[in-house]
Amino acid sequence: MRQIVLLKDIPDLTEIKLDSQTRAPIVEGVKRRISEVDKRVLEAAIRLKEKVGGEVVVLSMGDDKTRTALLEALAMGADAAYIVDEPGLRDVDTNATSRVLEAAIGHMGEYDLIVAGEMTLDSLSSQIGPRLAQLLGVPQVTYVKELDVADGKVRAVRDLEDVDEVVEAPLPAVVCVVREINEPRIPNLMSIMRAKKKPQTVWAAGDIGLDASDVRGMSYVQVMSVTAPKVERKQVRIEADTVEEAAAKLVEALAQEGVI
């Protein structure tokens, strides 16, 4: 069985700071890494490989830093990595991105299962998997928290918050998993060393039969800005002679604000 895992490297959210004047996130110099959701996607595919055999390859869009980030995926157990590196397509929307991924998958050969996350932690759109399934004309199963493959079918348990749903779909198919599906493994030193010897294939748009300007014309959503919410303090000062009096005044002030 051949599985294609969709991964995206994003800035390390724990290292991002905000500009005090513009409230915009400062991402310059921040290390990029595979998101926690996508690590669970890869873990799910590797566990299937360990059970039924086959191959796990990862696919991403990005740049030179993406190649470094995907070394972690290769260390975890992926067999190879494919990256579409096209400068003109770095900030396109999910519609254009899904078109690029469709073209890349067409050049990767036969597959049985495409595994993606329910969302990426930078945009939270939850659109890539469903859009890609539609373009490829294959079944899709979303919000998967348990995954298995047998007899040419994928069997999954879907997390619908207040109820679980068990579904089956014929292969090939697209599956989108939730973070509750597993805890990803931590690769050991030998796995990290072997990762550097595994193949990484980098394509430009033309290599997969696309014209970057045409694909960019399919990007309809433009992000104008990203800023943190503006938080203003009322700067209410509590003055009292004793701790008890201060506490009473604080409670009264919080009650007036409707906090308690």
Kindly list the domain boundaries of the chain, sorted by start residue: 2-216, 230-260
pLDDT category at 187 given cuts 50, 70, 90 is: very high
Query: What CATH architecture does domain 2-216 belong to?
Result: 3-Layer(aba) Sandwich (3.40)
Global pTM value: 0.83
pLDDT (mean) for 196-218 = 93
The residues, any chain, with a CB within 8 Å of residue 254's CB and separated by 6 or more, are: 260
Phi and psi of 158, rounded to 5°? -95, 135
Cα 12–chain centre separation: 12
Tell me the per-residue pLDDT of 78-129, one tens digit each, with 9 for 90 and over.
999 999 999 988 888 899 999 999 999 999 999 999 999 988 766 678 889 9
Q: Which pLDDT tens digit goes with each residue over 32-66?
A: 888 889 999 999 999 999 999 999 999 999 988 89
Q: Is a pLDDT exceeding 80 seen at residue 247?
A: yes
* CA-based end-to-end distance of the chain: 58
pLDDT higher for 202 or 22? 202
Question: Reduced to 3 states, what is the DSSP secondary structure of residue 102?
Answer: helix
Indicate if the pLDDT at residue 25 is higher than 90: no
CA dihedral 6, 12, 13, 19 (to 10 degrees): -130
Backbone angles phi, psi at 146, to 5 degrees: -140, 140
